[in-house]
Every structure is written in C-alpha cells, then in structure tokens.
Amino acid sequence: MKTTYFPSFLILFLILTLGSCSKDSKITTTEEYDELISNLSTNVIVATYADLANEGSILAAKLAELEANPTPENLTAARNAWIAARSPWEQSEGFLFGPVDQAGIDPSIDSWPVNVTDLNNVLNGPNALTPSFLAQQEGTLKGFHTIEFLLWGEFGTKEVNDFNAREFEYLAAASSTLASDLDHLYQLWSPSSGNFIAEVLNAGKGSQLYVSQKSVLEEFSNAIAIIADEVGNGKINDPLSQQDISLEESRFSNNSKRDFSNNIRSIQNIYLGSYNGLGTNKGLSTIIAVQNPSLDEQIKNEIQLAINAIENISGNFGAAIFSNVSQVEAAQSAVRDLQETLESELIPLISNL
C-alpha cells in the first residue's frame, strides 16, 4: 500500500490562497534555499539521469554484441550491464516526479510483473522484433524486467545455449527502446533540451508549476517518504508476508537487495545533497540541521541503518524470505522506522517553514 498525500494541485492552491495570512511562515523565495534547490536539481537529479542514460546506452550496445556473437562471455557482460543500469534507476526513485510521471515514462521503463504469456506470444509470432515495434507495446513487454527475464530466465539459470534467435533479437530491440526512454527522460530534465529543471530552479520566480520554493522542498520531502513506504510496505512486505517468491521484484537476476538498498540511497542522496561524489552537500539535511539538529541526526542514522539492514540479509532475498525471515523483518522494520520519521517529522517541519 502507498501512503496518500495531498495532491500537488491542492498544495499549490493552499499556498496561493493562504500565503498572505502568515507571511512569516510561508516562504516564496529566499537566497537561503537557492543553492540547495540548485544542488539537488543539478548534482543529484540531473546527474543521476545522465548516468542512467549512459548506462542504458551501454546495455543496448552489450545486447547488440550478444545478438551478434552469443558467447558465455558476452552473456555475462550483458548481465553486468543490466545490473549497472539498474543502479541509477533505483537511485532515481527518490524523486519520481516531473517528466518521469507526467510523460508516462515510468511504465515503459519499470513495469512489473513481466507478462510472460504475451511475451511468449510475441516471440512465437510473425512480427519483426524492431525497436519501433516494441516501443508501441505495453510496459510489461519491455523495459528492465522483460530484459531481465530474457537474460536470466525464470529460475536465473539460463545459459547462452538456451537462447533462440528470436530472444536475442527481442533483447537487442528491447534494450534499444529502453535506452531511448532513458535518454528521453534525461533530455526532458536537461537545461539544453526539455529543461524541466528550470521549473524547479525558478520556483517562486516565474515557474509554471512551483509557486514557491517551499513547494519544491515539499515535493522532495514527499517523494522520499513515498519510496520508503514502497520499499517497506511493498517491495519487502509483499513477498515476505505472502511467502510468495513470484512477488519479488528483480528476482530473476537476484538483484532485489541491491534494488532496495539503492532505493534508500536515493533518499540519502536527496537528504544529504550528493550523488556519487557530486554535489555541494546541500540537501534537506541543511534545513533540518538548523531547525532540529537531533532530528537531522536521527534521519541520517535511520537512512544508514536501513541500508545496512537490507545489505545484511544473508544470501539472496528470495531465499531469505523463507530461511532468514528475522533478517528480512529487521530490514523491513528499519525501512518502516525511516518512513515513519519522514512522514511524521520531516514533512511537517518542511510544511511549516
């Protein structure tokens, strides 16, 4: 289940209509937040999407090589490229707002579960498996997880001799389509193209979407709480509570723990204001440390505890939900603690600026 938040249009309406009633608590623009918003937008969000687009291009190239020369070495290289591309995608889930949502890009990239029945129908059908053909298909027939399923197989044991020519063709086309979607997402944010970043940077100064800088800070805060909720109450909870491995996302590749920890790192990146060594370290923590230093330390600690608890689950996640239940429950509890703090303390504090 996902926590319900006020729709963004309602938040904007309240800010517009109530702003004059309490001028001291309703920020519009301040130099204090300019660098923070610029840093998160440029050095975290756009930098993550730039990495994602680059890794998507590498994945497409590796799968083209695999189709042209199907060797065990090229299969391993393609799988490694998939894992590498998955990392910035999962680290982008702490800011799933803007073009990824508005342009409907997310379903094409990350739909789950794979529609195996329809996938087999396409593989056994007469259509040429081209990028343009796959681009027209629904999300469950393309994107990360369809590629994952074809690369590893149902039980993660697929070898290069288990592939047929249509599967190699499908993988090459699907990865090309994915790379195009990932580049499109980056371009929509990029200042040299779609320039959505300008909407964020110009909050309170002519932005069509954000009437104040506080509305942007609220967007950041809500987004990181949403992904904490999704990890704790969806991605971990569903397979654990139902003892059903088929509900585990990224199970074919055994990449689930890495996915989950990278989701929490996406929260960390926004909170601390850095990504892969980039950034000025101005994030939401910059505000919280001034307003409530003990809360700032609590959030930083809870983020790291959640990452550690996920990574400390023994073996792969699919096996752990049966054999290491206590470790999985500990990870879930750590993520839920973080979610609770973000929802009950961080979001109200930002809303009361």
CB under 8 Å to 140, separation ≥6 — which residues?
111, 112, 113, 114, 115, 118, 146
What pTM did the predictor assign? 0.91
Report the C-alpha gap between 349 and 341 in whole angstroms.
11
Q: Give the per-residue pLDDT at 32.
A: 80
| Entry field: residues in the chain | 353
pLDDT in tens, the chain (353 residues): 333 333 443 344 344 444 433 333 456 677 789 999 999 999 999 999 999 999 999 999 999 999 999 999 999 999 999 999 999 999 999 999 999 999 999 999 999 999 999 999 999 999 999 999 999 999 999 999 999 999 999 999 999 999 999 999 999 999 999 999 999 999 999 999 999 999 999 999 999 999 999 999 999 999 999 999 999 999 999 999 999 999 999 999 999 999 999 999 999 999 999 999 999 999 999 999 999 999 999 999 999 999 999 999 999 999 999 999 999 999 999 999 999 999 999 999 999 99
Number of Cβ within a 10 Å radius of residue 49: 25
Q: What pLDDT is attached to residue 31?
A: 76
Q: What is the per-residue pLDDT for 27?
A: 64
- Look at residue 29 in the predicted model and tell me its pLDDT: 72
Quickly tell me which residue has 């799968």 as its tokens. Answer: 63
Contact partners, residue 273, CB within 8 Å, separation at least 6: 36, 39, 40, 43, 44, 279, 280, 281, 282, 283, 284, 285, 286
Q: What is the pLDDT of residue 26?
A: 59
What pLDDT is recorded for position 96?
A: 97
Q: Which of 216, 299, 316 is nearest to 264 (CA)?
A: 299
Output the CA angle 243-249-255, nearest 5 degrees: 110
Both tokens assigned to 142: 């393309």
State the Cα–Cα distance between residues 110 and 106, nearest whole angstrom.
6
How far apart are the C-alpha atoms of 145 and 103, rounded to whole Å?
20
pLDDT the model gives residue 5: 38
The residues facing 275 across adjacent strands are 278
CATH number of 8-351: 1.20.1420.20
